[in-house]
Amino acid sequence: MERTLCIIKPDAVRKNVVGEIIAMITEKGFRILGMKMIRLSSQDAGEFYAVHKGRPFYNDLVEFMTSGNVVVMALEKENAVVDYRALIGATDPAEAEEETVRKRFASSKGENAVHGSDSVENGIKEVAFFFSERELIG
């Protein structure tokens, strides 16, 4: 079993498509181990995306991710990381496959509806960034 972190980003929360995105995820067989709606602080967002510090879009990314509520979910499934990345589609919705979350709901490369961990190691780390073990269903 693998873990991956989903964040439903502020653009998707504003569009009121949280329920549709959760349905797409559960229909693919992911189990939700933990879920909460929160507002990220600049410090949270900056730390979460620290790997992108110095990239030209970093400040915009932090500003966007703190612009409204997000829904964070710890997901579990066999091959969760690769399967969830396939479900959400490419970073840029213009390049995302049909029927992916980003093709359906993202408006741009920056405002792209959802986050997904990019490796098994980061899946574990990112779930732990938002959830303590006792918040997760065993």
52 in active site: no
Distance of CA 103 to the CA centre of its chain: 15
Among candidate residues 3, 70, 115, 117, the one labeled active-site is: 115
How far, in Å, CA of 40 to CA of 63, rounded? 10
Nearest-approach distance from CB 60 to ligand GDP, in angstroms: 5
Contact residues: ligand GDP, CB under 6 A = 57, 60-61, 91, 109-110, 112, 115, 118
- In the bound state, the residue with its beta carbon closest to ligand GDP is 110
User: Which phi and psi (to 5°) does residue 106 adopt?
Assistant: -80, 150
> Sign (positive/negative) of CA torsion 123, 40, 85, 54?
negative
Q: Which CB atom, from 74 or from 81, has the smaller least distance to ligand GDP? A: 81
Active site residues per annotation: 115
